[in-house]
Amino acid sequence: MRTANIGRPWLLFAVLTALLGVGLAWLLARPDGPSPTAAVRVLAVGVGATVLGLTAWQWLQRDERRPVLDAGLLWQSTAAAAGVWAAAEAVLIVLEAAEIEGRSSTTVSPSSVAGFVRDIGAGRIGAATLACAAAVALISALAYRRTLVWPAAPVAALTALALIARPVSGHMSQQTLGALLDAVHVLAAATWFGMLVALALGARSRGAWAALLPRYSTIAWRCVWLLAATGIVNAAIRLGGFSPLLSTGYGRVVLAKVAALAALLAAGWWLRRTWVVPAAAHRIVAEASLRRAIGESAAMAVAFGLAAALATTA
């Protein structure tokens, strides 16, 4: 049966569903949070995850004589996404500086932002994240414009460092192995989401989906279990019992995140049977695979919105 054509710009629908996740967290957590910066934070993390996914596919194809995904297209997409990421990080720094001073983002002065970056740990971490994102954008643009055979591993490492900078310096850093748990949690989520979005951006034929979707599916399942395991440990340490799950805003958002993850697991199991297997056998056209990838990315973005809100909920 012929499927309706759908374009890659529909991937931007994930922005709306991510904000929906933030809004849902706000309803569940008030008056405990989340911070208004969560809306920008989820956009930054989502685009950063896409950059990680793009560089991951570059790295996985490093030894292939005829890569399935075009390296030039991947570098071009990486440069564009990293540029958006850097812009989002810059906005986030201004919002955080304004929040600390109790001002609106339109009235905070440049000197206050500079002081926030210079004197406060969160500001320095934000500046480092911005610098990493900007460096990734510059390197990727050079690799694309000059057709350089640039290794993807250093760019992926720089991206991963930027993604974990804020989480590993949060409250879990005070616990034994807390920073490591947070790093694994964030990178598992970013890989799961980012590699799917990157595949949707780069796969242009039925053969590309047939070759790469099964590889993604295997990686995704491993990421999901890492995500679930580290998330359970993090929540248990933070909440310290079962009663705060309902009595605190943080606990209610955790429950919503668990529900979202369970729904995504069920959807993933169903898609593995109805999408991954037929796609690997060349029985699904590229447009149909793209449509499924867009739908799953949008659903995953809701969980990203909940997670971003959770990070700023008391």
Concatenating the DSSP letter of every residue in 212-228 gives HHHHHHHHHHHHHHHHH
Q: Is 242's pLDDT higher than 90?
A: no
Mind listing the pLDDT tens digit for each residue in 20-50? 999 999 999 988 778 889 999 999 999 999 9
* Long-range contacts, 213-218 (Cβ 8 Å, 24+): 213/275, 213/276, 213/279, 213/280, 213/289, 214/276, 214/279, 214/280, 215/60, 217/272, 217/276
Do the domain assignments include residue 226? yes
Mind listing the pLDDT tens digit for each residue in 161-205? 999 998 887 665 566 667 888 999 999 999 999 999 999 999 999
Do the domain assignments include residue 1? no
Do the domain assignments include residue 2? no
Do the domain assignments include residue 175? yes
Give the model's confidence band at 5: pLDDT under 50 very low, under 70 low, under 90 confident, else very high.
low
Do the domain assignments include residue 155? yes
Kindly report the pTM of this predicted structure.
0.93
Domain that holds residue 22: 8-310
Pair of tokens at residue 180:
């490591």
Q: Between 38-60 and 71-101, two packed helices, what is the crossing angle to 10 degrees?
A: 160
Question: What is the mean pLDDT of the segment spanning 65-85?
Answer: 93
* Average pLDDT across the chain, whole number: 91
Give the model's confidence band at 251: pLDDT under 50 very low, under 70 low, under 90 confident, else very high.
very high
Give the angle subtended at the CA of 244 by the CAs of 243 and 248, to the nearest 5°: 140
Residue of 234 and 117 predicted with greater confidence? 117
Do the domain assignments include residue 3? no
Do the domain assignments include residue 58? yes
Domain with 47 in it: what CATH number?
Answer: 1.20.1630
Do the domain assignments include residue 44? yes
Number of domains in the chain: 1
